[in-house]
Amino acid sequence: MAGRSIQGSEALAAKIKSRRNELGLTIEEAALKAGVGTKTWSRYEAGESIRMDKCKGICKALNWHTFPDEEVDERIETDEYREHRAWSSFLEKNFGSKAAMCFAAGSDILWDNINQDMEELAAMPKGSHIGQLGVSWLKEDLPEQFLVHYDYEFLYRMKCVLYEMIEWAHEGSDMNAHTVLQELILYLCNEEAETLIEMCGGLDEAEKEEDLDSEDWVFDLLDDEDIITCLYSNRYLTEDNIYHFSHWDEQQFCVDSEA
């Protein structure tokens, strides 16, 4: 994909430096939290442009929801993702072009987040989980109850399932989830894409009207909001609940019931 960035400026550089100092962070500490090198962080504080794929980490390090009062180079156009390997003609046909764009863009970001946490876990003792990482790209996104289960092996499995779903999209197959983990991946891809859209200043004006009602495409696809109700609503799940971690790989949804 074509690179996107937030235009650097003296004003933004000053805000980044001021916020870092306000939080009592050294450049090294801030860079570690953001997942960038110290030289890269120093360039941001010198006024250089910031690549879009680095923005989430910088916002996390500075406890910002988004960059303050800054314009991104250009708004998102869904068509620029049309040649992406994860573009789903099924999603486009049934839920609109924004849904297809969200899965394509979101799968890129989720893939990178999984890889970065896997890289950190690979240097730790067997059985370590993302809650033990100094900086985790997934900890705040995955359901809190099962934090200690998110080890290297789980992330590898999650990555393999994501790859499989990217292939579904590429082949034009239906994107119906059959397992809780597949539902979770669809949900997380959309969340990551929505964050990207917000950071980029929204969708292109010409596309807003067409996709006005597409925000809930994930729940329309899943046919319910159980993923939120069960995993993100401060409920304690017992092992007999189908959304318990022990059942995430089981084929439960959209399964042919014929004998």
pLDDT of residue 254: 85
In tens, the pLDDT along 27-44 reads 999 998 888 889 999 999
Residue 72 has pLDDT above 60, yes or no: no
pLDDT of residue 255: 78
Q: Are 134 and 27 in contact (CB under 8 A)?
A: no
**pTM for the complete prediction?**
0.80
Assign 1 a pLDDT band (cuts: 50, 70, 90).
very low
Domain ranges (residues) in the chain: 5-62, 78-247
pLDDT of residue 212: 46
Which one has a higher pLDDT value, 22 or 256?
Answer: 22
Residue 2 has pLDDT above 50, yes or no: no
3-state secondary structure the chain: CCCCEECCCHHHHHHHHHHHHHCCCCHHHHHHHHCCCHHHHHHHHCCCCEEHHHHHHHHHHHCCCCCCCCCECCCECHHHHCCCCCCCHHHHHHHCHHHHHHHHHHHHHHHHHHHHHHHHHCCCCCCCEHHHCCCCCCCCCCCHHHHHHCEHHHHHHHHHHHHHHHHHHHHCCCCCCCCHHHHHHHHHHHHHHHHHHHHCCCECHHHHCCCCCCCCHHHHHHCCCHHHHHHCCCCCCCCCCCCCHHHCCCCCCCCCCCC
In tens, the pLDDT along 11-22 reads 889 999 999 999
Query: For residues 18 and 48, what is the distance between their CA atoms, to the nearest angstrom?
Result: 16
Three-point CA angle 239, 246, 119, nearest 5°: 140
pLDDT of residue 213: 47
Q: Are 38 and 27 in contact (CB under 8 A)?
A: yes
Angle formed by the axes of helices 38-45 and 10-22, to 10°?
120
In tens, the pLDDT along 54-63 reads 887 898 889 8
Query: For residues 209 and 250, what is the distance between their CA atoms, to the nearest angstrom?
Result: 38
Query: For residues 105 and 112, what is the distance between their CA atoms, to the nearest angstrom?
Result: 11
Half-sphere exposure of 156 (CA within 13 A, CB side): 7
Q: Is 75 left (phi over 0), alpha (psi -120 to 50) or beta?
A: beta
Query: For residues 230 and 45, what is the distance between their CA atoms, to the nearest angstrom?
Result: 42
In tens, the pLDDT along 120-172 reads 999 999 999 999 998 788 999 999 999 999 999 999 999 999 999 999 999 99
Tokens of 136: 């985790």
**238 burial class (0-12, 13-18, 19+ CB within 10 angstroms)?**
exposed
CATH of span 5-62: 1.10.260.40
In tens, the pLDDT along 189-245 reads 999 998 888 777 777 655 555 554 456 899 999 999 999 999 999 999 999 999 999
